[in-house]
C-alpha cells in the first residue's frame, strides 16, 4: 500500500503528548516522515530519547523529546513554553497521553479517580489552553484530541477511563466553537482496539483474544497504530481546513 504525504506539514511545528510508544510513537514517526518539526512529551525517558535518536538521521528535522509528567500542569505548561522557545509557535497539537488501566468499580477511591482523570483528560484541557495563544499568534492551527470507543460501547473495568474519554469529546466540541474564529480547528479520534505492544502484552496476549475483538468489526484486519496516525496527519494538514468539531471513529466498523 502507498499512503498520502502532506506537503503542508513540512516545517510545521507539531507537539505530541505521550509520544514515546504505542500510538504516540506512530504519531511521531508519521509527522517526522512528513517533514514536520516534531516535539513530543513523555515520562518514558529512555524510550523517548531512543525514538528521537532513531529519527535524527532520516527525518527532515530531528524530533525534540522533552521528559514531562503531563498530570503535573505546571510541568506540562513549562514543556509547552519550551517548545515555543526552541521551535516556534505550535501549529498542531496531538493530545494523546493516556492510561487505560483496568479498575474494579467498588475499589475506586477519590484519589485513584482523580489520577485517572488527570492522565486521560485534564492534560488535554490545559495543554490546549497553553497552545491556543501560540496558534492565535501564527494565524491558525489544529488540535487533535484522542478519545476512545470505550465510552460508546461500555467496558465494565474502564468506567473512569471511559468517562474521561467521553469528556474529551465534549471538550472538543466546545473548544472548536470557542477558537474557530482564530482558524483553529479542533477534532477528536476515537479508536477501537489498536494492537500496540502494550495492548498485546497486558490485555490481548493471545491470538484468540485479538480475534474475538476483530470478529465484531466489519473489516477483518487488526487496527494498527499507523492507521490512527494517518488520520491525525490529515486532520493536522491543510487538506482538512474546513473540518472541525468532529469525532472520527477508527474501529473497522465495529458493531
Report, as residue numbers or ranges, the catalytic residues. 161
- DSSP readout, 176-240? HHHHGGGTEEEEEEEE--B--HHHHHHT--SHHHHHHHHTTSSS-S-B-HHHHHHHHHHHHSGGG
Using the 8-state DSSP alphabet, how is residue 38 labeled?
E
Which residues, in sequence order, are CB contacts of 3 under 8 Å at separation 6+?
230
Give CA separation, 108 vs 72, 118, 147, 202, 231, in Å: 21, 15, 22, 20, 34
CA–CA distance, 68 with 202 (Å, rounded to integer)? 24
Amino acid at each position: 500500500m502507498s499512503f498520502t504525504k502532506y506537503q503542508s506539514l513540512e516545517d510545521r511545528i507539531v507537539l505530541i503528548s505521550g509520544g514515546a510508544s504505542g500510538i504516540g510513537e506512530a504519531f511521531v514517526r508519521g509527522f517526522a516522515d512528513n517533514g514536520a518539526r516534531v516535539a513530543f512529551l513523555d515520562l518514558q525517558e529512555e524510550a523517548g530519547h531512543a525514538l528521537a535518536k532513531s529519527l535524527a538521521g532520516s527525518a527532515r528535522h530531528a524530533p525534540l523529546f522533552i521528559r514531562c509528567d503531563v498530570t503535573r500542569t505546571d510541568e506540562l505548561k513549562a514543556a509547552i513554553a519550551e517548545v515555543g522557545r526552541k521551535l516556534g509557535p505550535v501549529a498542531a497539537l496531538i493530545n494523546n497521553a493516556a492510561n487505560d488501566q483496568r479498575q474494579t468499580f467498588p475499589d475506586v477511591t477519590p484519589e485513584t479517580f482523580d489520577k485517572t482523570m488527570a492522565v486521560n483528560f485534564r492534560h488535554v484541557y490545559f495543554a490546549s489552553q497553553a497552545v491556543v495563544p501560540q496558534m492565535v499568534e501564527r494565524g491558525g492551527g489544529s488540535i487533535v484530541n484522542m478519545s476512545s470507543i470505550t465510552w460508546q460501547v461500555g467496558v465494565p473495568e474502564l468506567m473512569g477511563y471511559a468517562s474521561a474519554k467521553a469528556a474529551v469529546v465534549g471538550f472538543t466540541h466546545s473548544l472548536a466553537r470557542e477558537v474557530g474564529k482564530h482558524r483553529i480547528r479542533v477534532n477528536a479520534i476515537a479508536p477501537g482496539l489498536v494492537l500496540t505492544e502494550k495492548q498485546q502484552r497486558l490485555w490481548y496476549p493471545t491470538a484468540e483474544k485479538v480475534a474475538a475483538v476483530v470478529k465484531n468489526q466489519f473489516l477483518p484486519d487488526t487496527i494498527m497504530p499507523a492507521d490512527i496516525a494517518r488520520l491525525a496527519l490529515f486532520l493536522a494538514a491543510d487538506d482538512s481546513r474546513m473540518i472541525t468539531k468532529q469525532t472520527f471513529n477508527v474501529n473497522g466498523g465495529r458493531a
